[in-house]
Chain A
Amino acid sequence: MERAEIEAAVIAILAKQLLLPPGEISPDARIDELGLDSLGKVEAIFAMEERFGIHVPFNANAPDQPEFDFSTVGGVVRDVEALIAHKG
């Protein structure tokens, strides 16, 4: 799966949680600044796992997420891409 396709799918998932048009979410946007709350985050992760057939190692209790970068849209896309490749 191409990076652009993954990015579009990740943005679509985030847009659905944020009730925003996908065009308003830029790849370098910071997730917290988009206004995604903790439940929105776990729902988005669930949607990505279902969409890409991956398991995202995300724990809401780790202040910095060493195993999965959830700080920016671009970070999420990169790590999802890596998980898909790893699954490969």
Chain B
Amino acid sequence: MRRVVITGIGTVNALAQDVPGTFAAFRAGRCGIGPLTFRDAERLSIRIGAELRNWRPEASFSAKDLPLYDRVTQYALVAGAEAVAMAGLPMGLGPRGGVILGTAAGGIQTWEESYRAVFAEGRSRVSPLVVPRLMLNAPASHLSIRHGLTGPVLAVSSACASANHAMGLALQQIRAGAADVMLTGGAEAMLCFGGVKAWEGLRVLAPDACRPFSLGRRGMVIGDGAGVLVFEAEEHARARGAVPLAEVAGFGMTADAADIVAPNVAGAARAMRAALRDAGMAPQDLGYINAHGTGTLANDRAESAAILEVCGVAPPPVSSTKAMHGHAIGATGALEAIACVQALREGLLPPTLGFEAADPDCPLDIVALHARPARVEAALSNAFAFGGLNAVLAFRRA
């Protein structure tokens, strides 16, 4: 089977609009969560989120192209450009290159603006670009257009597991020989009035802070952003002299076939085991788990039980980086994969901010508040989505 490595990464998120800034924030344990600033935010009962500050799309895109791009596409393109530049990808990959990108809500801000125009403001028409802006495959398609990738290109949508599913499928495309290089990860731009209003109804958003696995937690905090990773067949990377950042060693996905929102210990544990098996790893090989760790009671308890079930009484250190970059829904797995790359390369586990006191229902070794030095040979990254869809990736030091 072909080995697959990561040769480039790129991101924009609430912490920084590039990888060096994001790595610095992970090292320092900086929080990207703050007051929401978008239109009508004062009409919400939840007023915090991990927004991108000072987002200036006109600095990245021409006046001619910009009307085509919802924010979700803008994020994906800027993150993708950084990843492609880091990988030093040659032009002309054509059919040997592809894109599989996750997003949960796609161009939700385009929906919102268009509905506002016709329903609230009584306008009789909307921009002719509404459909190509809001479609869920717009970020994947624009990455394909921008970088000339004509092989397998599609969008994946599985709520909070979208990016992990996308990366898992990208791994499988390269292993199967359908492509040599895949841009993959996720993008999300759900921080708008309608996006947060919809989440409010579920009563799972925290009004104050995100505190994964900690007593005193009150739920999740939504974030925006994108993470794009360049997955590449190892022999293809070596042949062109590219430096592997980490190996994408395995992927496991399962469905609970149970509740539409409640997490399920058995389904989560099966996905973790499947990823380990696919990677040829034993639980004791793991030096780090980047948890789904949303900061809801239901997730954190179920995930803790699943980790203990898979790893036994001495699981590896666990952190949730969502208290820094927010829960970026369909992009979050990509931001967390980038955190795993840093853990593997720098030997530094990113912290779980907001942690106040250990929860007896989550008896794990939580990397709390401060980054922790540790040599890591292998890491898991969990994603357990609404719909009962679980997707777990295993990474190994390159």
Contacts and interface: CB of A to CB of B under 8 A. Distances in A.
A and B physically associate: yes
Interface of A: 37-39, 42, 45-46, 55, 58-63
Given A42-B203, A45-B203, A55-B45, A61 B261 contact: no
B310 to A, nearest CB: 25
Contacts of B201: 42, 46
Q: Is the interface of A mostly helix, strand, loop or mixed?
A: loop
Interface residues on B, range: 10 to 19
A38 to B, nearest CB: 7
B260 A59 contact: no
Q: Is the interface of B mostly helix, strand, loop or mixed?
A: loop
Interface string B201-232: 11110110000000001110000000000000
Contacts, number: 37
A25 B83 CA distance: 59
B217 A61 contact: yes
Q: Which residue of A37, A39, A60, A61 has the most chain B CB atoms within 10 A of its CB atom?
A: A61
Nearest to A39: B261
Contacts of A58: 203
Contacts of B218: 59, 61-62
23 contacts: A37-B262, A38-B261, A38-B262, A42-B201, A42-B202, A42-B203, A45-B203, A46-B201, A55-B45, A59-B203, A59-B204, A59-B206, A59-B218, A59-B219, A60-B296, A60-B297, A61-B204, A61-B217, A61-B218, A61-B295, A61-B296, A62-B218, A63-B297
B260 A60 contact: no
B386 to A, nearest CB: 11
A60 B46 CA distance: 14
Contacts of A61: 204, 206, 217-219, 295-297
Interface of B: 45, 201-204, 206-207, 217-219, 259-262, 295-298
Contacts of B298: 38, 60
A60 B219 contact: yes
A63 B298 CA distance: 11
A60 B45 contact: no
B320 to A, nearest CB: 14
A52 B187 CA distance: 39
Nearest to B296: A61
Given A45-B203, A59-B203, 16 more contacts: A37-B259, A38-B298, A39-B260, A46-B201, A58-B203, A59-B204, A59-B206, A59-B207, A60-B219, A60-B297, A61-B206, A61-B217, A61-B218, A61-B296, A61-B297, A62-B218
Nearest to B45: A55
A88 to B, nearest CB: 20
Nearest to B220: A61
B293 to A, nearest CB: 13
